[in-house]
Amino acid sequence: PTSKLPDVGTSIFSVMSALANEHKAINLSQGFPDFNCPDELMELVTKYMHAGFNQYAPMPGVVSLREKISIKTEKLYGYRPNPDTEITVTSGATEALYAAITAVVKPGDEVVVLEPCYDCYAPAIRLNGGIPVYVPLALPGFSVDWDLVKRNISSKTRLIIINTPHNPTGAVMTKADMDELAHIVDGSDILVISDEVYEHMVFDGFKHHSALENAILRERSFVISSFGKTYHTTGWKIGYAIAPPALTTELRKMHQFITFSTVTPLQFAIADFMDNEAHYLGLPDFYQEKRDAFCEYLAPSRFEFLPSAGTYFQLLKYDAISGEHDQDFAKRLVQEVGVAAVPVSAFYHNKTDHHYLRFCFAKSDETLCAAAEKLVKL
């Protein structure tokens, strides 16, 4: 049979994690914590399981969870989405992204994607007959060149996808960025997907700016987040999308036929645990400490740091160590040094290589220290 994605192989995250396991390397490639979620959250899950909450959840998500998301959103971003008409719980941010893209992209539509970018956007666009229009982020620092974005917009542009804080670069959009984007889409019929799964991982006193804070963006955006990031539970695959009622109606039409609904007892447990604001309010300091420790351990190395303003990723440039393509260098690093990282070229459609590797610092201090010990030898 002919493939619908002939040029697509296995995701770089699966490839690097498998390679790390094969070579018993320290795995700083795929983004996931090597520590557990809070005990109280796990206790709530078993409580709800034993209480019999093990059948289908309502299609848009458990009511109490949507209510808690609504309250939290107002607290953080000054806008209270209606839980009945504007919030949908999905099986991870990945499903929310797929459902949102599928809901709005028709054959021939163009979608602006800022590169490097997370790997699930372009396949979803293409499977719906859309055309990804890749706009590179500007070096150094991977900021958005909004003039370049403007120049890549045509009468066929249906959607712009942004991601802040940004995977893989750690770049964080400013309020001025959001205003620029609002200015570009204002008065057009262009929609926005704002992937904000790392909303609670922003460092050095910077603030996350959600598309929900901007009235122009709010009325045309799907804003997507993930409890996998916030609660150290990437394996639970629970996320959500906030969008105006008309867009939510369309997104739910997709959601009900992709998964129908999302795992029930975990939704109830998260809803209760969301009262614990200290957990997510503590995440910036928690992860900044890890970033700083990792960078301090690596200070004697020959790697060059790109400042990570957010996410749990740190980019390291290896020009002083090797001239290899980043895919080759990353492979050699696993095999010969025993540390796995993600080559950043994997986040470009044409595998553009700027000699950066992405390291995940959502790890225990021992793991970070052990990895750095190996990396400083290079």
Q: Which residues bind ligand GLN (CB under 6 A)?
A: 11, 13, 30-31, 167
Minimum separation from the CB atom of position 360 to ligand GLN (A): 6
Nearer to ligand GLN, 298 or 360 (CB): 360
Cα(228)–Cα(163) distance, integer angstroms = 16
81 contributes a contact to ligand PMP by CB under 6 A: no
Parallel, antiparallel or unpaired: strands 221-226 and 191-195? parallel
Closest separation in Å from C-beta 37 to ligand PMP: 14
Range in contact with ligand PMP (rule: CB under 6 A) among 48-56, 145-153, 231-239, 358-366: 231-239
Distance, CA of 56 to chain centre: 27
Q: How far is it, in rounded angstroms, from Cα 359 to Cα 318?
A: 12
Task: Please say which residue, 81 or 165, places its beta carbon nearer to ligand GLN.
Answer: 165
Position among 15, 93, 99, 113 found at the interface with ligand PMP (CB under 6 A): 93
Contacting range for ligand PMP; rule: CB under 6 A; set: 41-49, 86-94, 202-210, 263-271: 86-94
Taking residue 13's Cβ as centre, other Cβ atoms within 10 Å add up to 16
CB of 347 to ligand GLN, least distance (A): 9
- Residue 60's Cβ-side half-sphere holds a number of Cα atoms within 13 Å equal to 22
Q: What does DSSP say about strands 191-195 and 157-163: parallel, antiparallel, or unpaired?
A: parallel
Among the residue ranges 61-69, 233-241, 265-273, 343-351, the one whose residues contact ligand PMP (CB under 6 A): 233-241
Query: Crossing angle for the helix pair 264-273 and 63-77, nearest 10 degrees?
Result: 40
31 binds ligand PMP (CB under 6 A): yes
The binder of 310, among ligand GLN, ligand PMP, none, by C-beta within 5 to 8 A per type, is none
Single out the segment in contact with ligand PMP by CB under 6 A; choices: 81-89, 100-108, 226-234, 278-286. 226-234
Min dist CB 121 to ligand PMP, Å, is 9
| Contact status, residue 74 vs residue 281, Cβ threshold 8 Å | no
Cβ neighbours around 262 below 10 Å, total? 27
Contact call for residues 13 and 342 (beta carbons, < 8 A): yes
- Which span (91-99, 266-274, 278-286, 325-333) binds ligand PMP, by CB under 6 A? 91-99
Residue 11 contact among ligand GLN, ligand PMP, none, beta carbon within 5 to 8 Å by kind:
ligand GLN
- Which of the choices ligand GLN, ligand PMP, none does residue 163 contact, using the CB cut-off of 5 to 8 A by kind? ligand PMP
Handedness of CA 87, 91, 96, 101 (dihedral sign): negative
122: closest CA among 239, 201, 222, 7? 7
| 259 Cβ neighbours under 8 A, 6+ residues apart | 90, 91, 95
Assess whether the previous peptide bond of 343 is cis (omega < 30° from 0).
Answer: no
**Rg over CA atoms, the chain:** 20
Q: Closest CB to ligand PMP among 132 and 228?
A: 228
Number of residues that bind ligand PMP (CB under 6 A): 14
Stretch that binds ligand PMP, among 1-9, 36-44, 234-242, 347-355 (CB under 6 A): 234-242
φ, ψ of residue 342 in degrees (nearest 5): -105, 125
322 contact choice in ligand GLN, ligand PMP, none (CB below 5 to 8 Å, kind-dependent): none
> Is position 149 an interface residue for ligand PMP (rule: CB under 6 A)?
no
DSSP letters spanning 230-247: HTT-GGG--EEEE--HHH
Exposed / middle / buried, residue 139 (Cβ in 10 Å: 0-12, 13-18, 19+): exposed
Q: Which is nearer to ligand PMP, 301 or 308 (CB)?
A: 308
**Interface with ligand PMP, residue 92, by CB under 6 A:** yes
User: Count of CB atoms within 10 A of residue 274's CB?
Assistant: 21
Comparing CB distances to ligand PMP, the nearer of 199 and 372 is 199
| Shortest separation between residue 218's beta carbon and ligand GLN, angstroms | 25
**Applying CB under 6 A, does 228 fall inside the site for ligand PMP?**
yes
> Cβ of residue 234: shortest distance to ligand GLN, in angstroms?
7
The site for ligand PMP (CB under 6 A) is made up of: 31, 92-94, 118, 163, 167, 195, 197, 226, 228, 234, 237, 239
